[in-house]
Homo-oligomer: A and B are copies of this chain.
Amino acid sequence: MDFNKITEGILARFKAIVGESAVVTAKEEVSNYSHDETEDLIYYPEVVVKPQTVEHISALLKICNDALIPVTVRGAGTGLAGGALPVKGGLLISMERFNKIIDIDEQNLQATVEPGVITEVFINAVAEKGLLYPVDPASKGSCFIGGNVANCSGGPRVVKYGTIREYVLNLEAVLPNGDVIWTGANTLKYASGYNLTQLMIGSEGTLGVVTKIVTKLIPRPTQDVLMLASFPTNEDACAAVSAIFRAGVIPSALEFMERRGMEWVIEHDGIAFDLKDGIGAFLLIEVDGTNQDVIFDDCEVINGVLEAHNCADVLFADSAAQKEELWRIRRTMAVSVKSNSVYKEEDTVVPRAALPQLIKGIKQIGAKYGFESVCYGHAGDGNLHVNIVKAGMSDEDWNNKLKDGITEIFKLTVSLGGTLSGEHGIGLVQKDYMPLKYNDTHFLIWKGIKQVFDPNGILNPGKIF
């Protein structure tokens, strides 16, 4: 696809639509939109606009569609696969002004929000009404709910409460030709034609621009227990994961963290934690509910499983402050790794009983190719984030040989029944690995679907495939 540049005339039309102050061309400000949280990648858009209404988006897309100008839609820029990077230049639409919680419907336990609402702001707003929206990525304090929809984002609580697919009921979306649709209905069940809501979720801004999101909410659990279990080895910790579910308990979070990650959090995030010798890995386990006895019963079952898997020690958080501190360790791990070294993050996901094989294999591949990795993630979902750190690797190896190592990691993931990404998306940096899992037929279908929504290919070009 040959795209065109944004001319002065088109720029004037953008300004007429959204107002002069909502169009950014000054390089210093544009540079804020040239990167997300993916490695150290930088791509400049030609122009950034900050629309505020669905009519703005519709008018902007119509112009770009007619003029063949690439359009990249950006949420908070917390993505880890480069999905929001404007790799073909063109127009970047920032959704930052779509920041209203339009309605929290306590009668139906549903909410309607704009995509630029920060996920944690939304979680807190519904919590105030005794309700739970359980999709809480580690970046919840800064990421936008629209980005979560685009990437099919997860988070710790998905393991008990279901993925974002179970919570997003309906979407208002603008197609590249400017048409506005509601993808489905505000209903808990839907069997009325191909489900476009589900198709939009995880489509990474390549099919349309989401402008409103209707979510399901559920009653909020009132109590929880949080424990941190220590294990001598990664494999011990990983093997305990599937055993907990087999024992009949579904925790509200079941997170894995490697020792190295913990060390870096202690070093970089100033968190006080007594890291004992001989400990190789941790599971952070939360059990929630409305009844203390049931939670304690579940914890007892979990404890039995942990003991049977060489668990060295279990720390029960005994205050809200300690719970917050333990969660902070987990949530800041990505940032600590990043501040410590150049890194690449892979988002492997496998059936959960395959986790011990996965982590063992990752370390073997690392040894073979000479890279260090720090692994952590939503082990209850079989979802392991593999942070490959440059550390002592030569630039030459980092830029060339590493790709073969990542290829081996994904081959292993696929051989275990898994796939390339569980919740980060494919975006820019994972797309080259997609043929490891998917065949030509798959690509033909995906490209066909893209063609149906976006015949000129203007929306987030260069992503996924």
Please report A residues at the B interface, Cβ cutoff 8 Å: 105-110, 130, 151-154, 158-159, 162-163, 165-166, 175, 179, 181, 184-196, 198-199, 201-203, 207, 218-220, 242, 245-246, 248-250, 289-291, 293-294, 297, 347, 349-354, 378, 381-383, 414, 417-426, 434, 437-439, 441-442, 445-446, 448-453, 464-465
Is B294 a contact partner of A195 (Cβ separation < 8 A)? no
- Contact, CB under 8 Å: A351 / B202: no
- Collect the chain B residues with CB atoms within 8 Å of residue A188's CB: 158-159, 163, 349, 352, 381-383, 422
User: Which secondary structure dominates where chain A touches chain B?
Assistant: loop
Q: Are B418 and A186 in contact (CB under 8 A)?
A: yes
- For the complex, give the distance between the alpha carbons of A203 and B151 in Å: 23
Find out whether the CB atom of B442 lies under 8 angstroms from the CB atom of A452: no
A190 touches B166 (CB 8 A): no
The answer to whether A449 and B446 have CB atoms under 8 Å apart is no
Chain B residues with CB below 8 A from A445, complex form: 181, 194, 196, 452-453
Q: How far is the CA of A207 from the CA of B199 in the complex (A)?
A: 14
Check if B349 sits within 8 Å of A193, measured CB to CB: no
Instruction: Give the residue name and chain of the B residue nearest to A109 (CB).
Output: B245
Cα–Cα, bound, A464→B465 (Å): 30
A154 and B189 contacting across the interface, CB-CB below 8 Å:
yes
Query: What is the minimal beta-carbon distance from A178 to any residue of chain B, in angstroms?
Result: 10
Q: Which residues of B contact A452 (CB under 8 A)?
A: 445, 448-449, 451-452
Closest residue to A434 on the B side, CB-wise? B193
User: How long is the Cα–Cα vector from A109 to B437 in the complex, in angstroms?
Assistant: 23
B residues near A107, Cβ cutoff 8 Å: 242, 246, 351, 353
B194 pairs with A199, CB closer than 8 A: yes
Having A189-B349, A218-B245, A219-B248, one finds 8 other A-B pairs with CB under 8 Å, namely A153-B191, A163-B188, A165-B198, A186-B417, A189-B383, A192-B419, A196-B445, A219-B245
Shortest distance in angstroms between A163's beta carbon and chain B's nearest beta carbon? 6
Contact across chains for A162 and B166 when beta carbons are under 8 A apart? yes
Nearest-CB residue, chain B, relative to A196: B445
Per a CB cutoff under 8 Å, which of B154, B158, B439 touches A181? Answer: B439
**A437: chain B residues within 8 A (beta carbon):** 185, 192
- Selected from B130, B151, B193, B383, the residue in CB contact (under 8 A) with A446 is B193
Q: How far is the CB of A391 from chain B (nearest CB, A)?
A: 28
Q: Which of B109, B191, B242 contacts A202 (CB 8 A)?
A: B191
Q: Are B248 and A187 in contact (CB under 8 A)?
A: no
Tell me how far the C-beta of A292 lies from the nearest C-beta in chain B, rounded to whole angstroms. Answer: 10
- Whole-angstrom distance between the alpha carbons of A320 and B287 in the complex? 31
Do A195 and B198 form a contact, CB below 8 Å, given A245-B219, A293-B293? yes
Q: Tell me the nearest residue of chain B to A383, going by C-beta.
A: B189
Q: Are A187 and B349 in contact (CB under 8 A)?
A: yes
Complex-state Cα separation, A465 to B193, whole angstroms? 8
Q: How far is the CA of A199 from the CA of B207 in the complex (A)?
A: 14
Of the candidates B130, B192, B290, B422, the one whose C-beta lies within 8 Å of that of A191 is B422
- Distance in angstroms from A168 CB to nearest chain B CB is 11
Chain B residues, CB < 8 A from A425: 191
Contact in complex: A193, B422 (CB < 8 Å): no
Chain B residues, CB < 8 A from A203:
194
User: Contacts A291-B291, A291-B294: A189 and B245 contacting too (C-beta < 8 A)?
Assistant: no
Given contacts A194-B449, A248-B219, contact A422 B242 (CB under 8 A): no
